[in-house]
Amino acid sequence: MWSRAHRKFARRCCQELAESSLEVCREVHREFTDRLSRARRKFVRRMLGVHQEFTKGDRSSHGVHRKDVGSSPGVRREIT
């Protein structure tokens, strides 16, 4: 939830943008989408790393090795 100060600031920014030229609005929009896109890519990369670490730790703690991955769920095959 945003504080009152954040809401006032956002409202003022929106008002100033509305009063600005179309080119200024486009530039702000481009910069915003650029930053959002970079943040999303960074977040996805981080979550993939977390997922890989989690699944790697999960496999080793349950005695499942790469050679066992792909076997039927609930059926553990020992490959020697």
Q: What does pTM read for this prediction?
A: 0.42
What is the rounded distance in angstroms from the CA atom of residue 67 to the CA atom of residue 80? 10
Task: Scan for tokens 């080793």, then name that residue.
Answer: 60
Tokens of 39: 């943040």
Average pLDDT of the residues in 47-59:
83
What is the rounded distance in angstroms from the CA atom of residue 57 to the CA atom of residue 77? 20
Q: Reply yes or no on whether the pLDDT at 63 is more than 60.
A: no
The dihedral built from the CA positions of residue 31, 32, 37 and 42, taken in this order, carries a sign that is positive
More confident site: 80 or 57:
57
